[in-house]
A and B are shown apart, each in its own frame.
Chain A
Amino acid sequence: NAGVTQTPKFQVLKTGQSMTLQCAQDMNHNSMYWYRQDPGMGLRLIYYSASEGTTDKGEVPNGYNVSRLNKREFSLRLESAAPSQTSVYFCASSGGTSQSYNEQFFGPGTRLTVL
């Protein structure tokens, strides 16, 4: 059981470049999430997917798009990267539905730097 995996672990982009962060979970969880963590701060929700085929905006969705490819995979795309998007990105998943209280399991994170 790998849990939640994220690729890549590190990435450096130039302003204006695009990229996709990949996330996969093997726990058969319904819900998946993308967060960003800026230095010295807590996690802020970018987008989440309560179930396969649905996605919703979180607290800071501007500049990002997501795709819930199937039950296992949830990708995050930066269409035109900006220095303000320099952060550590975490993917997470949880069992049950959006109306259950199961804890979230987190991936190891992707450290993104935009120059």
Chain B
Amino acid sequence: AQKITQTQPGMFVQEKEAVTLDCTYDTSDPSYGLFWYKQPSSGEMIFLIYQGSYDQQNATEGRYSLNFQKARKSANLVISASQLGDSAMYFCAMRGVNTNAGKSTFGDGTTLTVKP
């Protein structure tokens, strides 16, 4: 079985500062992918960043980076230089291979509010 845990229901950050959103996971698959999505108040799901379990380097996409610590089973999202438009719900998700092939599991999300 797969499980994603996001322990921060809500986070606040000052504009232009960096913020880390926590995500821990559990899976029986030896090979898996980890994803972060953003959901603004308008409701759409926007893909942000992906990390493969065998990737040697942490993923980065513009202002987003993924702090992947495999031994700790954590995949935290770091947003640098926060902007007002970053205010949204953020979801961590994973998808495995083998026993969980194709199945995606999402966490309950973290609501990020960026203060001006």
**Which residues of A in the span 47-81 have a Cβ within 8 Å of any Cβ on B?**
48, 50, 56, 58-59
Cross-chain contact of A43 among B6, B33, B52, B91 (Cβ < 8 A): B91
Cross-chain contact of A101 among B4, B45, B95 (Cβ < 8 A): B95
Q: Are B105 and A59 in contact (CB under 8 A)?
A: yes
B62 within 8 A of A: no
Tell me the bound Cα distance from A62 to B30 in angstroms.
29
Cross-chain contact of A106 among B44, B101, B109 (Cβ < 8 A): B44
- Kindly list chain A residues whose C-beta atoms are within 8 Å of the C-beta of B93: 42-43
Residue-by-residue, is B95-111 near A (CB-CB < 8 Å gives 1, otherwise 0)? 10100011111111100
- Kindly list chain A residues whose C-beta atoms are within 8 Å of the C-beta of B107: 42
- Kindly list chain A residues whose C-beta atoms are within 8 Å of the C-beta of B91: 42-43
Could you say which of B44, B102, B105 has the most chain A C-beta atoms within 10 Å of its C-beta?
A: B102
Tell me the bound Cα distance from A59 to B1 in angstroms.
10
Interface size class of B (residues with CB under 8 A): 20 to 34
**Which residues of A in the span 68-115 have a Cβ within 8 Å of any Cβ on B?**
88, 90, 92, 98-99, 101, 103-106, 108-109
Q: Are B104 and A56 in contact (CB under 8 A)?
A: no
Tell me the bound Cα distance from A108 to B39 in angstroms.
11
How many residues of chain A get a CB closer than 8 Å to chain B's CBs?
26
- Kindly list chain B residues whose C-beta atoms are within 8 Å of the C-beta of A98: 97, 101-102
Residue-by-residue, is A32-47 near B (CB-CB < 8 Å gives 1, otherwise 0)? 0101000011111100
CB closest chain-A residue, reference B50: A103
A-B contact pairs, 25 of them (CB 8 A): A35-B106, A40-B108, A42-B4, A42-B106, A42-B107, A42-B108, A42-B109, A43-B45, A43-B91, A43-B104, A43-B106, A45-B103, A48-B103, A48-B104, A50-B101, A56-B103, A98-B102, A99-B97, A101-B33, A101-B50, A101-B95, A104-B47, A106-B45, A108-B43, A109-B43
Residues on B lying within 8 angstroms of A by beta carbon are 4, 6, 33, 35, 43-45, 47, 50, 52, 91, 93, 95, 97, 101-109
